[in-house]
Amino acid sequence: MSDYIKVTLDESEIPTQWYNIIPDLSEPPPPPLHPGTHQPIGPDDLAPLFPMGLILQEVSQDSYIDIPGPVMDVYKRWRPSPLYRARALEKALDTPAKIFYKYEGGSPAGSHKPNTAVAQAYYNAQEGVTKLTTETGAGQWGSALAFACAQFGLECEVWQVAISFDQKPYRKTMMETWGATVHSSPSNLTEAGRKILAMDPNSPGSLGIAISEAVEAAVGDESTKYALGSVLSHVLLHQTVIGEEALLQLAKVGETPDLLVGCTGGGSNFAGLSFPFLREKMAGKMNPTVRCVEPASCPSLTKGEFRYDFGDTIGMTPLVKMHTLGHDFVPDPIHAGGLRYHGMSPLVSHIYELGLVEAEAINQTECFAAGVQFARTEGILPAPEPTHALAAAVREAKRCKETGEEKVILTALCGHGHFDLTAYEAYLSGRLVDYDYPDEKVAAAMKNVPVVAG
C-alpha cells in the first residue's frame, strides 16, 4: 500500500449518480435573464436550444441525479479513470508534498469532455433530436461531441475557431472520422459569421463567435439542437463523476487533500473534480483549499468583472451573471493553450463570490515548463490546459519543500496533449512568450456589456 503508484477502482465502483452542488450552497446562483426583457428566463425559453431532460438538470434542486444506464455503458469503456500519485515528479521536485492527479486523458477523445458529451447526446437522442451543433476551440469538445453523437446515431456539425482549425488539422480529421461535419469559424454559412467576416475578413475567430454560429444553426431547425461543452450547470453536473471517483480513490489510500488545483476555461473539469470535495468541506468532513488556475492572457476570474453578459459574441444567448472579460473578447494569437473563453461558468463564478474557492492566473511559459517537467517525470504529455494546474501544483510543492509541510495536493490531469504539439514545439524552440491581459482592455470591453438593472 505504501508504495502504490496508481489507485484503481472496480467497474462496479463508478458512481451511479451525478452530484448537484446548488442545493448545498448558502445562496442560489443568480438566474439567467432574457436578452431582450432582462427578466429571468424559464425552461421554455431554452427549449429551442436544449432537450427538456438537460434543461431540467440545469435548474434542478435535487442533490443527486441518476446516471442513465446507456450513458453508464459508454462511461465504462474508460471509467473509472485512474488516480496517480506523481512520485517521479515529487522526487524531481524533492518535495515532502504528495501530488495526486486524476487522469481523464484515457477517454476516446483524450479529455474529460466525453463525460458530458455522452450524457448530452443521450438526452437529445431520447427526445427525438437528430442533429447537434456546437463550437470548438482547441478541438477537444468538438471531438468529444463527435464521438458521443456517433454512439447515439446523431448527426454532428461543428464550428471550429479559425485559428485552431488552421493550426490543428488532425482534430478536424478526428471529428470527421467520427462522422461530424466541421467548418472554420467565422464561416459564410451563418448570419453571425458573415457579420464578423464583413468587419474583419481575416478574423482568427473566437469561442464566442463560434457559439453564435452554432446557436444560429440550431434555432433555425426543429430537429437540431445545440450542445455546449462547458460553462452551463448541467455540464458541470455531468463532470462530477471525476470528483466522486477521486474521493473514493483517495479514501482507499487513506489520504485527504489539503489543496485542490484545477485549470479553468469554462470551469467544467475544475467543477467536476472539486464539487464533491466542496460538499465534504461544507459538511465539515475535510478542509482543503480549492483553487482555480487560469491563463494570465485570459484571466476571467482574476481580472474579469462579475456581471451579466452574453455567452456568445453576437448576443443571441441569455444573459448570465459570470466573471467576464466582455463578450467581444478575442484572444491574443500568441496564447498557445486552450482556456480562451471570455467568461467563467456562472456557477463557478458564484462559488468564487461566496468565497468557497480562490483563483490565480499563471503565464504560459511557466505552465509549459511544468508540462515538460511532468512529461519527463510522469511520462504523460499533458494538454496545455492542465499545465496551468500542474504549474500551480509545482509552485505549492516547492513551497512545501521550504516549509517542510507534507501537503496532499490533488489535481485533474484533464487531457493529454497529443494534438497540441505545435504549442509544445513553440515552447521548446523558445518562441512562446508571456502576455498579461491588460486591465485597460477589460475596462474597454465592459462598455459593450449590457447594463442590467438591480
Ligand X SMILES: *Cc1c(COP(=O)(O)O)cnc(C)c1O
Residue in 30, 205, 338, 371 binding ligand X, rule: CB under 6 A:
338
CB atoms within 10 A of CB 296: 20
CB of 123 to ligand X, least distance (A): 19
- Based on CB atoms, which residue is closest to ligand X, 214 or 400? 214
Residue in 268, 274, 363, 387 binding ligand X, rule: CB under 6 A:
268
CB of 128 to ligand X, least distance (A): 28
CB of 267 to ligand X, least distance (A): 5
Positions 45 through 74 that interact with ligand X (CB under 6 A): none
Cα–Cα distance measured from residue 289 to residue 411, given in angstroms and rounded to the nearest whole number: 12
Residue in 116, 269, 317, 364 binding ligand X, rule: CB under 6 A:
269
- Based on CB atoms, which residue is closest to ligand X, 141 or 152? 141
- Based on CB atoms, which residue is closest to ligand X, 51 or 338? 338
Residue nearest ligand X, Cβ-based: 415
Cα–Cα distance measured from residue 187 to residue 134, given in angstroms and rounded to the nearest whole number: 13
- Based on CB atoms, which residue is closest to ligand X, 86 or 383? 383
CB of 444 to ligand X, least distance (A): 25
Positions 208 through 267 that interact with ligand X (CB under 6 A): 230, 263-267
Residue in 20, 81, 107, 111 binding ligand X, rule: CB under 6 A:
111
Stretch of 20-28, 43-51, 383-391, 401-409 contacting ligand X, by CB under 6 A? 383-391
- Based on CB atoms, which residue is closest to ligand X, 227 or 383? 383
CB of 54 to ligand X, least distance (A): 16
Q: What are the φ/ψ torsions at residue 240 (nearest 5 degrees)?
A: -65, -10
Outline where 59-108 has alpha helix (H).
69-75, 87-93
CB of 256 to ligand X, least distance (A): 24
What's the CA angle centered on 224, arms 319 and 194, to 5 degrees?
65
Query: Among 224, 163, 214, which residue's Cα sits nearest to residue 190?
Result: 214
Q: Is 311 in the site for ligand X (CB under 6 A)?
A: no
Report the 3 state secondary structure along 208-245: HHHHHHHHHHHHCCCCEEECCCCCCHHHHHHHHHHHHH
Stretch of 38-46, 153-161, 379-387, 400-408 contacting ligand X, by CB under 6 A? 379-387
What's the CA angle centered on 140, arms 136 and 143, to 5 degrees?
85
CB burial class (10 A; 0-12, 13-18, 19+) of residue 195? Answer: middle
Map residue 441 onto helix, strand or coil. Answer: helix
CB burial class (10 A; 0-12, 13-18, 19+) of residue 117? Answer: buried
DSSP string covering 1-15? -TT-SEE---GGGS-
Residue in 85, 113, 225, 340 binding ligand X, rule: CB under 6 A:
113
Residue in 336, 383, 391, 442 binding ligand X, rule: CB under 6 A:
383
Query: Among 336, 344, 341, 340, which residue's Cα sits nearest to residue 371?
Result: 336
CB of 340 to ligand X, least distance (A): 9
Cα–Cα distance measured from residue 321 to residue 347, given in angstroms and rounded to the nearest whole number: 9
Stretch of 15-23, 205-213, 251-259, 381-389 contacting ligand X, by CB under 6 A? 381-389
Residue in 414, 423, 442, 445 binding ligand X, rule: CB under 6 A:
414
CB burial class (10 A; 0-12, 13-18, 19+) of residue 284? Answer: exposed
Residue span 128-157 as binding mask against ligand X, x where in contact by CB under 6 A, dash where not: ------------xx----------------
CB atoms within 10 A of CB 73: 11
- For ligand X, the binding residues (CB under 6 A) are 111, 113, 140-141, 230, 263-270, 338-339, 383, 385-386, 414-415
